[in-house]
């Protein structure tokens, strides 16, 4: 496994991490015992970065991760985040809450569920428009001083918010969607993180599974799969996106490398500061994802992949419209 440092912080992580969202039912039923074994198998393969959040399954995801790393804490760079909550029990995390008192309580609850005294990387899940980002980051900085957080990150923040937060306490990472078919961060966000020495953690690096291959029909998604409510997985958008990936699959068949590995290797080739965190519940998929760190792409192939999946051809917005 290749390892990378997130920005100027010195926090070293595996070049490919593991996003744990799917392990608590977000993409359909998941067997907890199998998911625990997937995490532990990943550790044996050199995986270190595990990514969860307190709003995944209303804390159930953190609890699962905590059980999976029990006895293995020293092998893990543990990342979680808070700042989003549901407006009702069992509801989706729609409310952004960056109040210092809320973040403190959220972090304390995460530590308990994760079964640890300290989180290696704690993200503000979203910047609260009602709370200055300086106040939210300041609250997390207090938790750093208390030894409950080692590093601070932001998620889905604007360049201005990144600069303002970084002015209060050094940010180690920004986590935002970035993939072969979603490149909005390249215009302003990546230049900002690079200027400030902040690492970039790319979530949804396989387009919620589209770039993993095999999705050809909406009915393949389980009834409880959150992607059924995502605009890129509905109707005509699904058909157009599936066709785009099918064309990509044919176009790169000569490489002998699966599209999923090429997509992750493409991200890794975009800069040493980038660490993708694909999610999976299957050991075989995890091994393939981690194996992408060993796939070396020529400059010509990087450019070829970029041209084969022009972002403007991807149908539907990248996030559902909040109602």
Q: Which residues are catalytic?
A: 56
Question: In the numeric block, which tokens belong to residue 67?
Answer: 């059980």
Write the CA distances from 78 to 50, 65, 306, integer angstroms: 5, 9, 32
Handedness of CA 303, 319, 273, 45 (dihedral sign): negative
> In 242-282, which ranges are E strands?
274-276
Give the residue among 58, 56, 173, 70 at the shortest CA–CA distance from 114.
70
Give the residue among 211, 191, 205 at the shortest CA–CA distance from 273.
191
CB 180 within 8 A of CB 212: no
Taking the C-alpha atoms of residue 234 and residue 247, their distance in angstroms, rounded to an integer, is 19
């Amino acid at each position: 496994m290749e390892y990378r440092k997130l920005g100027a912080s010195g926090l070293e992580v595996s070049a490919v991490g593991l996003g744990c969202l799917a392990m608590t039912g977000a993409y359909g039923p998941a067997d907890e015992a199998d998911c625990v074994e997937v995490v532990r198998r990943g550790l044996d393969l050199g995986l270190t970065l595990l990514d969860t959040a307190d709003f995944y399954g209303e804390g159930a995801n953190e609890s699962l991760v905590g059980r999976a790393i029990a006895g293995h804490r020293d092998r893990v760079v543990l990342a979680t985040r808070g700042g989003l909550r549901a407006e009702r029990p069992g509801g989706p995390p729609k409310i952004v809450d960056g109040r210092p008192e809320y973040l403190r309580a959220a972090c304390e609850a995460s530590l308990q569920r994760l079964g640890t005294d300290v989180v290696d990387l704690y993200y503000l899940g979203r910047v609260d428009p009602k709370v200055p980002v300086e106040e939210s980051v300041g609250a997390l900085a207090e938790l750093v001083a208390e030894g409950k957080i080692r590093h601070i990150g932001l998620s889905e923040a604007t360049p201005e918010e990144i600069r303002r937060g970084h002015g209060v306490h050094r940010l180690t990472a920004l986590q935002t969607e970035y993939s072969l078919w979603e490149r909005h961060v390249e215009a302003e966000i990546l230049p900002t993180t690079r200027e400030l020495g902040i690492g970039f953690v790319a979530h949804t690096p396989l387009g919620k599974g589209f770039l993993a291959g095999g999705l050809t029909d909406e009915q393949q998604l389980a009834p409880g799969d959150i992607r059924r409510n995502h605009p890129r997985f509905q109707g005509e958008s699904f058909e157009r996106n599936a066709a785009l990936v099918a064309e990509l699959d044919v176009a790169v068949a000569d490489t002998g490398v699966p599209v999923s590995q090429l997509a992750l290797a493409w991200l890794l080739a975009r800069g040493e500061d980038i660490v993708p965190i694909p999610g999976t519940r299957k050991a075989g998929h995890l091994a393939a994802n981690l194996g992408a760190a060993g796939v070396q792409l020529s400059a010509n192939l990087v450019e070829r992949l970029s041209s084969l999946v022009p972002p403007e051809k991807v149908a539907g917005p990248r996030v559902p419209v909040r109602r």
